[in-house]
Amino acid sequence: MVYRRWEGMFKNGINLILTLYFFLSLSLQHLNLISMSVSSSAVDFRTGTKVAIKKLHRPFQSELFAKRAYRELRLLKHMKHENVIGLVYVFTADLSLDRFHDFYLVMPFMGTDLGKLMKLQNLSEDKVQFLVYQMLKGLKDLKPGNLAVNQECELKILDFGLARQADSEMTGYVVTRWYRAPEVILSWMHYTQTVDIWSVGCIMVEMLSGKPLFKGNDHLDQLTEIMKITGTPTQDFITKLQSQDAKNYVKSLPKVQKKDLQELFSKVNPQAVTVIECMLLLDPESRVMAAEALTLPYFSEFREPEEETEAQPYDHSVDNSDLSLEQWKRHTFTEILSFQPQVVESRETAL
């Protein structure tokens, strides 16, 4: 009877035996309570590899949280890039939709994040090159805590811009601001991919210098710190601003000349400074795009163009819907049932 209930639950595509086996094959190592989830590391005995398990904290306590949980699950399912965290497995202990309250995301285990790594050690030139190269390959909304790194210096992006929707509710908000593009800070204009290029530039400077470049105390102070380096906007840039209030504010700022970055970072590899110069431009339309940045001489040692794949288009139609809490739950439950895990043989078995 119990078997039949499980069989009915997974009739939409998840193999029952594999699911039960996966539950039994995880050896939990430790738990860590963080703001939005409970995370643990585990060993998948099918492959012998270490994984991270994330249980979202009360994902259905409100429509906002339910939407965020659904979106995180969808994005993890969608991602198929070696430099972006994807989903190894997803499961729930709840047997039906009316009992559905929690679910668990299983992802690759990385060990640490770039923010912690930078505090522990000064990164060598070749590590900076390799890490920034990987960031550009798998570009998303970036700050050091969103970049997971393992012992082989392999990097994966593990944040999907969720903090853009509700900054005031997220922990680490003050730190996040230091890596935000100026157009995001004051919502000046529509965002393009170059908001993330700005973040890469900020992180790259921090890796090379050992400290954040723009350490503002609030929104306006952040903008002031940025313009000490970039200079105040030109009239051409001001005309692109969508808000008249933003235009008036920028016009009222004291005029500051742009700093010469080659002079400012005179002890840094000039090729690295050239990359930073292309990224930290006030006008987002002038910043280098990821594909173009990858071709710069600074990354030539690590470049493998055939591996620089572009992500498949992501369907945002449901994400952008205005749905009830119960509808978000139903969509999330369906996504869990439809997940098809890729069973990868261990290296020992394959040999």
Sorted by where each starts, the structural domains of the chain and their CATH numbers stand as 2-109+327-340 (3.30.200.20), 112-288 (1.10.510.10)
109 has which bridge partners? none
Residue of 20, 13, 112, 103 lying closest to 66 (CA atoms): 103
> Strand, helix or coil at 303?
coil
For 259-297, b/e burial (b = at least 16 CB within 10 A) is eebeeebeebeeebbebbebbbbbbbeebbebeebbebe
| pLDDT for position 345 | 38
Write out residues in the chain with pLDDT < 70, as ranges.
Answer: 1-39, 81-84, 112, 140-145, 147, 157-175, 186, 188-191, 193, 306-314, 342-351
Residue of 222, 220, 230 lying closest to 257 (CA atoms): 230
CA angle 276, 282, 288 (to 5 degrees): 50
Which residue numbers are catalytic? Answer: 141
| pLDDT for position 39 | 63
Euclidean distance between CA atoms 346 and 154, whole angstroms = 19
C-alpha torsion angle, residues 72, 74, 75, 79 (rounded to 10): 140
Radius of gyration of the chain (CA): 22
The residue behind tokens 């102070």 is: 221
In DSSP notation, 177-210 reads HTTS-HHHHTT-S---THHHHHHHHHHHHHHHHS
Euclidean distance between CA atoms 73 and 132, whole angstroms = 26
| pLDDT for position 239 | 87
Give the count of alpha carbons within 13 A of 351, CB side only: 4
Q: Residue 62 corresponds to which tokens in the numbers above? A: 């409100």
| pLDDT for position 172 | 36
| pLDDT for position 142 | 59
| pLDDT for position 309 | 66
| pLDDT for position 5 | 37
Euclidean distance between CA atoms 32 and 63, whole angstroms = 26
